[in-house]
A and B are shown apart, each in its own frame.
Chain A
Amino acid sequence: MIVRPVQVTDLPALLALVRQAGRGLSALPAEEERLNHRLRWAKRTFAEQVERADADYLFVLEDDDQQVVGVSAVAGAVGLREPWYNYRVGLTVSSSQDLGIQRHMTTLFLSNEMTGQSGLCTLFLRPDQRLGGQGRLLSLSRLLFVAEFPHLFGDKLIAELRGSADEQGCSPFWDSVGRHFFKMDFSHADHLSGLGNKSFIAELMPRQPIYTCLLTEQAQAVIGKPHANSEAALKILSAEGFAHKGYVDIFDAGPVIEAPTSDIRTVRDSQLLDLVIGAPDDQAPVWLIHNRRLENCRVTAAQARQSGHSLVVDRATAKRLQLQPGDSVRAVPLLNQQQQAVAA
């Protein structure tokens, strides 16, 4: 398995993948023309032809049979073209000493705080592939990429996780808030947002702070809660040092998790090592390895042994990375499930 930048020729495979994803992947449009546009844009991004504000690093996960089974992306910066909105979950305190009453009211404040930060997004792995380390490879390869090219990214990385919704795709938070202002179903708003038509958000969003006690109980209960399908992604990134600092999605109140770029485990602990081809033993830990290239980026996960400044991998791994012995790699041990739990 490798993670590499998307190519224009991936279009049919991606279309199939997107259609399979259904509702959960609003950022990747199911319409061919729009998807094609995104692929072309990603290509320009990897060719370093776009500004950070427009950078869209879209990766695919490909197996050894050249089947595309997953996608993930990182945006160079959010909110520098069209404003990026979140709700900050804050507190309003009011008190009357005379009456001996004090009230702590959870309040949602509309905010643009994430402006300029880099954003992890568009994560999808075909359900039959969600075993072993594929999810971690797909998600964390982006972080290794960021580690290699920090000048292309911001001081902070954020990830907006999908919020709670029922099987019909109804979000209780949307029904209590957004619906009154947008006059459309959640899925439609989500779809529009995913298409990149975000000006409607600015035009229709309620700008005044919202007291959560005025929301339905179900809506209050989902504020900051990720959708069940996002739990795995949350675990992986939490182990990397991402944390929820009180910001949520304005549509479904899903949590925004964030981390200072330099504090992210993969970024902080990754090392530059020289590739050595050999035969790592069965007990050798799995490493996340990047060939340090941009346009020809390759990231893979493989058992490897560190020896001084060298990383010993097998021949197949070197081939996947398109590297020769002695070439430089950026690598970090991939935490397994147990270690993840400890780190989180």
Chain B
Amino acid sequence: MLVLRPVQLTDLPQLQRLAHESLVGVTSLPDDSERLRDKILDSCTSFEQHVQSPGPENYFFVLEDLTNRSLVGCSEILATAGFNEPFYSLRNRHFNSASRELNIEHDVPALSLCHDLSGHTLLRGFHIDAAWVRTAASELLSRARLLFIAAHALRFSDTVITEIVGYSSDEGHSPFWDAVGKHFFDLPYVEAERLCGLESRTFLAELMPQYPIYVPMLPQAAQDCIGRIHPDGQDAFDILEREGFETNSYVDLFDGGPTLYARTGNIRSIAQSHTTEASPGVSIDARGRYLVSNDSLENFRAIVAELDYTPGQPVTLDAGMCAALKVTEGRHVRLIAL
């Protein structure tokens, strides 16, 4: 059985492996043990802190295979994008111009550096072992975060965003980077992403273009990257799209990948999840597959379970489920259909 839980310091060695294997564009998972260690400690603090409104907290979760205690994935929630440092992105804005006399009218899209997206809650750091892609496990890893948000609404914003990794080739080339960022940084794409994960991000403000970049002037290959997803990011994108997330006109500075956006209250796993009481036992007719979580904070747990659930009734959970969820008779659980 797989269970999603907050990260602990003892997870560090396994996290290093995951970070090493994750997509270049997943910058919040730096391939650097000291940085990872800092992230774990920061996460523990976030879970322990008494919070009345969203601040700089970062909630770092791991997906553990209970059969062998190995980690198969991780994901995070940053309570407030841009709290400590501005959260930069590119706004794809249309400059409208028209000449009545010549009967020409056109929209010229241009990309402008901005930090409009500061203040939203940010889902990030999603990585799962290749074997579990497009399975219930990736649903759990991604959506359990939403159940956590539902359980602890005060800690999060009214709006949630995420950046989906943009296209880059197998050799690590991003056409968008080569046409835009590279001119301003004089670094290869992989190196720039790595720096983003390590250093403070003020270098972004210092080096990124201050003037809008007219999209038609970019090579076609770069234009095609705007809003395009890396094939390995499709799973993450699809899961959140089903949750009600939509693309808006913001893309990633480096690879042009899309930003997804949703109002917290409209997210499916938040709006439609039910809370009920756990009733330990053996269920006879477990018809539906559900994501189930407890509503705890530092003891947050979430699993996938086959259940026989009737809204308004307590839900029967077997011994393995109760143990994984750390719940006993009468304790609250939250569930949503897979």
Residues in A with CB closer than 8 Å to B180 are 214
- For B202-239 the 0/1 string (1 means CB < 8 A from A) is 11001111111110111000000000000000000000
Interface status of A94 (Cβ within 8 A of chain B): yes
With known contacts A99-B199, A105-B183, A203-B97, A183–B106 Cβ distance under 8 A: yes
Residues in B with CB closer than 8 Å to A211 are 183, 209, 211, 213
Provide the bound-state CA to CA distance between A206 and B213, in Å.
Answer: 11
Q: Are B99 and A94 in contact (CB under 8 A)?
A: no
Interface status of B284 (Cβ within 8 A of chain A): no
With known contacts A197-B101, A204-B99, A214-B218, A181–B211 Cβ distance under 8 A: no
Provide the bound-state CA to CA distance between A197 and B97, in Å.
Answer: 17
Provide the bound-state CA to CA distance between A96 and B101, in Å.
Answer: 47
Residues in A with CB closer than 8 Å to B212 are 208
Interface status of B108 (Cβ within 8 A of chain A): yes
Q: Are B211 and A209 in contact (CB under 8 A)?
A: yes
Q: Are A94 and B217 in contact (CB under 8 A)?
A: no
In this complex, how many residues of chain A approach chain B with their Cβ under 8 Å: the count is 32
Interface status of B195 (Cβ within 8 A of chain A): yes
Provide the bound-state CA to CA distance between A169 and B104, in Å.
Answer: 23
Q: Are B184 and A208 in contact (CB under 8 A)?
A: no
Interface status of A177 (Cβ within 8 A of chain B): yes
Provide the bound-state CA to CA distance between A94 and B211, in Å.
Answer: 12
Provide the bound-state CA to CA distance between A206 and B212, in Å.
Answer: 10
Residues in A with CB closer than 8 Å to B200 are 98
Interface status of B131 (Cβ within 8 A of chain A): no
Provide the bound-state CA to CA distance between A208 and B203, in Å.
Answer: 23
Interface status of B186 (Cβ within 8 A of chain A): yes
Residues in B with CB closer than 8 Å to A103 are 183-186, 207
Provide the bound-state CA to CA distance between A317 and B186, in Å.
Answer: 65
| A:187-231 near B, CB below 8 Å | 192, 197, 199-200, 203-211, 213-215
Interface status of B133 (Cβ within 8 A of chain A): no
Q: Are A180 and B184 in contact (CB under 8 A)?
A: no
Q: Give the nearest-CB partner of B217 in chain A.
A: A214
Q: Are B211 and A208 in contact (CB under 8 A)?
A: yes
Residues in B with CB closer than 8 Å to A181 are 97, 106, 108, 216
Could you tell me the distance in whole angstroms from the C-beta of B201 to the nearest C-beta in chain A? 10
Q: Are B206 and A96 in contact (CB under 8 A)?
A: yes
Interface status of A46 (Cβ within 8 A of chain B): no
Selected from A177, A199, A213, the residue in CB contact (under 8 A) with B99 is A199
Provide the bound-state CA to CA distance between A30 and B108, in Å.
Answer: 33
Selected from B195, B211, B213, B217, the residue in CB contact (under 8 A) with A176 is B217
- For A83-112 the 0/1 string (1 means CB < 8 A from B) is 000000000101110110101010100000
Q: Give the nearest-CB partner of A188 in chain B.
A: B102
Could you tell me the distance in whole angstroms from the C-beta of A97 to the nearest C-beta in chain B? 8
Could you tell me the distance in whole angstroms from the C-beta of B204 to the nearest C-beta in chain A? 9
Provide the bound-state CA to CA distance between A208 and B180, in Å.
Answer: 16
Could you tell me the distance in whole angstroms from the C-beta of B147 to the nearest C-beta in chain A? 39
Q: Are B110 and A208 in contact (CB under 8 A)?
A: yes
Interface status of B179 (Cβ within 8 A of chain A): yes
Q: Are B211 and A99 in contact (CB under 8 A)?
A: no
Residues in B with CB closer than 8 Å to A199 are 99, 101
Could you tell me the distance in whole angstroms from the C-beta of A85 to the nearest C-beta in chain B? 14
Could you tell me the distance in whole angstroms from the C-beta of B116 to the nearest C-beta in chain A? 18
Q: Are B203 and A206 in contact (CB under 8 A)?
A: no
Residues in A with CB closer than 8 Å to B211 are 92, 107, 208-211
Provide the bound-state CA to CA distance between A181 and B208, in Å.
Answer: 24
Q: Are B110 and A101 in contact (CB under 8 A)?
A: no
Provide the bound-state CA to CA distance between A164 and B187, in Å.
Answer: 32
Residues in A with CB closer than 8 Å to B214 are 180, 206, 208, 210, 214
Residues in B with CB closer than 8 Å to A105 are 183-184
Selected from A180, A209, A213, A215, the residue in CB contact (under 8 A) with B108 is A180
- For B94-122 the 0/1 string (1 means CB < 8 A from A) is 01011111101010101000000000000
Could you tell me the distance in whole angstroms from the C-beta of A280 to the nearest C-beta in chain B? 56
Provide the bound-state CA to CA distance between A205 and B179, in Å.
Answer: 22
Provide the bound-state CA to CA distance between A92 and B203, in Å.
Answer: 16
Could you tell me the distance in whole angstroms from the C-beta of B225 to the nearest C-beta in chain A? 15
Could you tell me the distance in whole angstroms from the C-beta of A339 to the nearest C-beta in chain B? 45
Could you tell me the distance in whole angstroms from the C-beta of B96 to the nearest C-beta in chain A? 11
With known contacts A211-B211, A214-B179, A214-B218, A94–B102 Cβ distance under 8 A: no
Q: Are A94 and B184 in contact (CB under 8 A)?
A: yes
Q: Are B183 and A214 in contact (CB under 8 A)?
A: yes
Q: Give the nearest-CB partner of B184 in chain A.
A: A103
Provide the bound-state CA to CA distance between A186 and B93, in Å.
Answer: 26
Could you tell me the distance in whole angstroms from the C-beta of A96 to the nearest C-beta in chain B? 4
Residues in A with CB closer than 8 Å to B184 are 94, 103, 105
Residues in B with CB closer than 8 Å to A98 are 199-200, 202-203
Residues in A with CB closer than 8 Å to B216 are 180-181
Residues in B with CB closer than 8 Å to A99 are 195, 199, 203, 207
Provide the bound-state CA to CA distance between A199 and B183, in Å.
Answer: 34
| A:54-68 near B, CB below 8 Å | none
- For B182-195 the 0/1 string (1 means CB < 8 A from A) is 01111100000001
Selected from B102, B185, B208, the residue in CB contact (under 8 A) with A200 is B102
Provide the bound-state CA to CA distance between A207 and B211, in Å.
Answer: 10
Provide the bound-state CA to CA distance between A210 and B216, in Å.
Answer: 12
Closest 8 CB pairs of A and B: A180-B216, A96-B203, A213-B183, A203-B99, A96-B206, A200-B99, A209-B211, A208-B212
Q: Which residues does B use to contact A, with CB under 8 Å? A: 95, 97-102, 104, 106, 108, 110, 179-180, 183-187, 195, 199-200, 202-203, 206-214, 216-218
A and B contact pairs by CB, cutoff 8 A, 20 listed: A92-B211, A94-B207, A95-B207, A96-B202, A98-B203, A99-B195, A99-B207, A103-B183, A103-B185, A180-B108, A180-B214, A192-B102, A197-B101, A199-B101, A200-B99, A203-B98, A204-B97, A204-B99, A211-B211, A214-B180
